[in-house]
Structure 1
Amino acid sequence: MYDIYERRLKWLVRLTLIGTLFTAAVMLVGAWTRLVDAGLGCPDWPGCYGKLLVPDNDHATLRHPDVPLEPFKAWVEMIHRYIASLLGLVVLSVVALGWPLRKTSGYPWGISLTLLAVIIVQGAFGAFTVTLRLWPQVVTLHLLGGLSVLLLFFWLHLRLRRAQRSPTIEPRRTNFLWAMAACLLIGQLALGGWVSSNYAGIACQGFPTCNGQWWPELDLSEGFHLTQTVGPNYLHGQLHADARTAIHMVHRLGAILLGVGILALWLRYRHAQHIAKPLTLVVSLYALQALLGIANVVLWLPLWLALLHTAGAIALSMGFIWAWWCWRYHEAGVYSAPPRTIYSNVIVD
């Protein structure tokens, strides 16, 4: 019985790591889909013009005569759907493998169920992204949902690794400084999604000024109007220049605030064992992400650089979670405790 549970846990550790990396890949493919304007490559869901494979032009014309088929964009969209479906199967596998361990002391069953719930909601947002024609509210929530899946996978992986070693030690409570930095990061990620979904990435030309001004004309009320209609679709956006400029400028200000929060964490814990190096990594990732953002503006948002900026957001999020984890558990002395097994308190039905 012990060997069976031990092997199952080892498989779960591997599977959650695969799920973390696969989620990052799905997010990058999603960003690519967005950047090549393929989000509406298939006008329906879950199929493409009523088919599970991209059909020929004749069938597409009969199915949706108002939406001409563009094979490249349709295939990009469908590939994103296929691999997102595979990710859902990975989540189901994690839950199925973890079912016999759900009553085991220290097993993070609640996180597994949360991951399952989030991936279901994420699938619904994927459908709404198409059926609501790229409504920016839904697109932004879809991005945040993807990040939630990624970080839940990563957190679950870390919890399972910890469960193999010392499941009974209590973590440190999150303090104000960490909570503030986490809120700033979430806010900046949401702003990044809002910039992308409203096509405001190059609303400001030049850096550090915006369109030759330190404080250009802004329409904040329109730029952050959360109930606007989308018309036939929201491809390429519908906001006027001042509204897009407002979104872009708020994103720049958010980046500054996030930098202050991350720097405050680093200054506070730079001499603490087990946390200084992870936080130094977070500071480095933030600096790289800021440079990528500036380069996107200066170089007019080339595809490869925009994808790198998305990858930077993913890396920064994971780096922050890892640093937070190290502070909550390593500094509390988790790994200095005698090794214990999660299966010492297995509850057998």
Structure 2
Amino acid sequence: MPDSYERRLRWLVRLTLIGTLFTAVVMLVGAWTRLVDAGLGCPDWPGCYGKLLVPDSDHATLRHPDVPLEPFKAWVEMAHRYIASLLGLAVISVVALGWPLRQRSGYPWRLSLTLLVVIILQGAFGAFTVTLQLWPQVVTLHLLGGLSVLLLFFWLHLHLRRARKKSITEPRRTNACWGIAACLLVVQLALGGWVTSNYAGIACQGFPTCNGQWWPELDVSEGFHVTQTVGPNYLHGQLHADARTAIHVVHRLGALMLGAGLVALWLRYRHWQNVARPLAIVVSLYMLQAILGVANVLLWLPLWLALLHTAGAIALSVGLVWAWWCWRYNEAGAFSKSSNLFYRNVIAD
């Protein structure tokens, strides 16, 4: 029995790592699908013009005469659906493989079930993305859902590695510093999704100014009107210029606030050996992500650079979760030698 338990844990550690990496690939393919305007390459779901494979033009015309078939976009959309289905199978495999271990002390069974629920919801959002014709609210939630799957896979992987090591370290309670940083990141990711779903990526020309002004004309109420009408085709967006500019400017301001929060977090924990390095990497990833954002504006959002910006958001999210894990499960005496004396009698978090 112990050998079987260890063997299952070993396979689960591998599978969750693969799942984490594969989720990132699925998200990048999804971003590519959106950036080449293939999100509605197939007007129905789960098939494409009623078929599991992209049909010929004659069949497509009979099925949806109002939506002409564009083979390239249809195949891009279907490719995204195929690999997303494989991701769903990976999650089911994790749950099935962990079923015999569900009553074992320390096994993260509830986390596995949470991952299963989230991937099911993510599939539903994928369907709504098509059936509601790229409604920005659903597109943004679909992006956040993908990140949730990614981070749950990664968190589960870390828990399984800890279970293999039979660690008994008590986790620290999350404090305000980490909570604020996490909230700032989630808000900024949501703003990024809102930017892309409303096609506001180049609503501001130039940097640091926007359209030649430090504070251009903004229509914030329309830009963040989250009860937009369901029904119109939102491909290429429905908002006017001032509303898109408002979305873009708020995204820039959100980036500044996130940067300040991450730097403050690093300053707070820079003397902790096991946390300083992960947080330094997180701050570096943030700086790289900011550079990619500026470059996207100045170069008019080229496809490859937009994909790198998406990859940067993924890396930044994983990096912060990793840093949080290092802090939460840090072993005693993890402070740097130079600061041990200072912290010896201090209760730190």
State whether TM-score is above 0.5: yes
> 2:339 aligns to what?
none
Distance 1:61 1:176, change over 3 A: same
Report the residue type matching 2:238 in the other structure: Q
Report the residue type matching 1:98 in the other structure: G
Deviation, structure 1 residue 265: 0.7
Moved >6 Å (runs of 4+): none
Distance (whole Å) between structure 1 residues aligned to residue 210 and residue 230 of structure 2: 27
2:16, 2:156 within 8 Å by CA — same for their partners in 1? yes
Q: How does 1:256-335 map to 2 (within 5 A)?
A: 256-332=256-332
> 2:217 aligns to what?
217
> 1:232 aligns to what?
232
Report the residue type matching 1:95 in the other structure: V
Distance (whole Å) between structure 2 residues aligned to residue 237 and residue 333 of structure 1: 54
Deviation, structure 1 residue 271: 1.4
CA RMSD in angstroms comes to: 1.0
Identity of aligned residues (%): 84
Q: How does 1:50-199 map to 2 (within 5 A)?
A: 50-199=50-199
Distance (whole Å) between structure 1 residues aligned to residue 243 and residue 189 of structure 2: 19
User: C-alpha deviations, 1:95-149, integer Å up to 9, x for none?
Assistant: 0000000000000001000000000000000000000000000000000000000
Distance 1:332 1:56, change over 3 A: farther
The more displaced of 254-263 and 162-171 is: 162-171
TM-score, structure 1 normalization: 0.94
Local SS of the residue matching 2:110:
helix
Local SS of the residue matching 1:275:
helix
Deviation, structure 1 residue 164: 1.1
Distance (whole Å) between structure 2 residues aligned to residue 17 and residue 124 of structure 1: 24
2:169, 2:331 within 8 Å by CA — same for their partners in 1? no
Deviation, structure 1 residue 169: 2.5
> 2:346 aligns to what?
none
> 1:344 aligns to what?
none
Distance (whole Å) between structure 1 residues aligned to residue 330 and residue 294 of structure 2: 35
Local SS of the residue matching 1:330:
coil
Deviation, structure 1 residue 229: 1.4
Local SS of the residue matching 1:192:
helix
Local SS of the residue matching 1:274:
helix
Unaligned runs of 5+ in 1: 335-349
Distance (whole Å) between structure 1 residues aligned to residue 74 and residue 324 of structure 2: 40
The answer to whether structure 1 residue 247 and structure 2 residue 271 are counterparts is no
User: C-alpha deviations, 1:62-82, integer Å up to 9, x for none?
Assistant: 000000000000000000000
Distance (whole Å) between structure 2 residues aligned to residue 62 and residue 79 of structure 1: 23
Aligned length: 334
Distance (whole Å) between structure 1 residues aligned to residue 131 and residue 321 of structure 2: 33
2:132, 2:231 within 8 Å by CA — same for their partners in 1? no
Deviation, structure 1 residue 305: 0.2
Distance (whole Å) between structure 2 residues aligned to residue 232 and residue 175 of structure 1: 44
Distance (whole Å) between structure 1 residues aligned to residue 50 and residue 332 of structure 2: 55
Distance 1:331 1:126, change over 3 A: same
Higher RCO (CA < 8 A, seq sep 6+) = 1
TM-score, structure 2 normalization: 0.94
Distance (whole Å) between structure 1 residues aligned to residue 66 and residue 332 of structure 2: 61
Deviation, structure 1 residue 55: 0.2
User: C-alpha deviations, 1:308-332, integer Å up to 9, x for none?
Assistant: 0000000000000000000001245
1:273, 1:331 within 8 Å by CA — same for their partners in 2? no
Deviation, structure 1 residue 243: 0.2
The more displaced of 160-169 and 177-186 is: 160-169
> 1:343 aligns to what?
none
